[in-house]
Amino acid sequence: MTTAPLPSSHEIAAFWRDAGPARWFAKDDAFDAEFKSRFEAAHHAAAACRLDGWAREAEGALALLVLLDQFPRNAWRGSAHMFATDGKARAIAHAAIEAGFDRQVDDALRPFFYLPFMHSESMADQERSVALNAALDANTQRYAALHRDIIARFGRFPHRNPMLGRETTPEEQTFLDQGGFAG
């Protein structure tokens, strides 16, 4: 049996750039299926540290962040696997930002270097997200503050509780029932 070659970091970054904002955050089954069929093998390779060399340059770091932070949220919506590679994504984002790679990509792609911190349930990561996103557009900054405020209030994202097998507190349930952020 022959295994298809993995896509390059350039192919992944180009796919993501071409998808654009209208598809990045929408719940779209067709887009999710295409994303998964094209890049699932690359996601698993990245999760297994086989693509770590890509992190030495801006486009490669971006591709890794797409594979480790964004891809699972599209490919495995509603499951704990959505969050399985968040820690690795944060480590790559931290190193990439320290190297200035976030400032070497198109402005529209810069938030993907910061999203691993926004997705974290750590207050320190949330504060970092707000600080990093302060230089971006008002809508991105608004979402960063919203995420931070939820972590400040609950210490976690309540909408993740069912996926992660956590008990939802009455206060969290009230928040969710009243239309609180659901990811």
- Is 70:43 a contact under the CB 8 Å cutoff? no
What's the confidence (pLDDT) of residue 177? 95
Q: How far apart are CA 162 and CA 50, in angstroms?
A: 31
Local confidence band at 2 (pLDDT 50, 70, 90 cut-offs):
low
| The predicted structure's pLDDT at residue 183 | 73
Residue 155 structure tokens? 């210490």
pLDDT at 182 over 90: no
Note the pLDDT tens digit of each residue in 103-151. Answer: 999 999 999 999 999 999 999 999 999 999 999 999 999 999 999 999 9
**Burial profile 107-131: b = 16 or more Cβ within 10 angstroms, e = fewer:** eebbbbbbbbbbbbbeeebbebbbe
pTM over 0.85, yes/no: yes
Confidence of residue 4 (pLDDT cuts 50, 70, 90): confident
